[in-house]
Structure 1
Amino acid sequence: MSVQENLQTVRQNIDKAKAGALKPSDSLELVAVSKTYGAEIIQEVIDEGQRVFGENRVQEAQGKWPELKSKNAGIELHLIGPLQSNKTADALELFDVIESVDREKIARSIAKNLKRSANVRNCLFRSIRG
């Protein structure tokens, strides 16, 4: 199955699920997980209109997303995996959304590093106990 066919199938399945839902939501958004895929394949998905992507490793994302984001307007990149405190500054520079902050240490590191970077618009916190 080609990238285009796969993406079309996923979008059709989302539309079917929305149609069958008790409370359909127009605010549903597909986050295409691009981990382990190279920039060439990701570019094909971008060319098909996908603009929101998820990566779970900061280092892997650093190797492909700066160029992809510079060549393609309107890309939103989510960090979908756990964040290590030593990668916080890099994550804030690259990602638009950090989806899971699961430790107080990470929250503090984000707060400290946000003073240097205004890039991240959203952080989603899991229950932090401390």
Structure 2
Amino acid sequence: MGDTVQQFFAVKARIAAAEQEAGREAGAGTLVAVSKTFDAVDIQPVIEAGQRVFGENRVQETQGKWPDLKEAFPDIELHLIGPLQSNKAKEAVALFDVIETVDREKIAAELTKEIVRQGRAPKLYVQVN
């Protein structure tokens, strides 16, 4: 078992302990594994170990590595965790299942246009400062 997979299991154990300590049900929390800067070959062992929710912060980087991984593992949930430029809304709607950083009205409007156009509706989290 590789170091990354061992680290994954160690984090999962810490989350389970924290859930228990807080009196929450096992599995109540969701680990969003941040996969930015890692190549697909580095991510795949963690997927095979059971991780299904990943976060990326760049649309272009995501385009290069996730389509094939999502085809091989269709139950993956992919989150955009970084800022989104309005000119990337089309790609973001096509790629991500959750967009966590809707921080401006302009972004919300562009995402709405793309959601209607593509017929695909990722979950949107509004960032409030």
Shorter-chain TM range is over 0.9
Matched, 1:24 2:42: no
Root-mean-square deviation (CA, aligned residues, Å) is 1.4
In the TM superposition, residue 18 of structure 1 has moved relative to its aligned partner by 0.8
Aligned to 1:80: 81
Count of residue pairs brought into register by the alignment: 127
In the TM superposition, residue 118 of structure 1 has moved relative to its aligned partner by 3.1
Unaligned runs of 5+ in 1: none
Unaligned runs of 5+ in 2: none
Aligned to 2:39: 38
Question: How do 1:1-130 and structure 2 match up within 5 A?
Answer: 2-21=3-22, 23-25=23-25, 26-127=27-128
Farther-moved stretch of structure 1 (112-121 vs 72-81): 112-121
Q: Within 2, Cα distance between the matches of 1:112 and 1:29?
A: 29
Q: Is the 8 A contact 2:93 2:121 kept in 1?
A: yes
In the TM superposition, residue 31 of structure 1 has moved relative to its aligned partner by 0.6
Q: Within 2, Cα distance between the matches of 1:9 and 1:42?
A: 16
In the TM superposition, residue 4 of structure 1 has moved relative to its aligned partner by 1.6
Over the matched positions of the two proteins, sequence identity in percent amounts to 50
TM-score under structure 2 length normalisation: 0.92
Q: Is the 8 A contact 1:95 1:120 kept in 2?
A: no
Q: Within 2, Cα distance between the matches of 1:3 and 1:43?
A: 10
Q: Is the 8 A contact 2:97 2:123 kept in 1?
A: yes
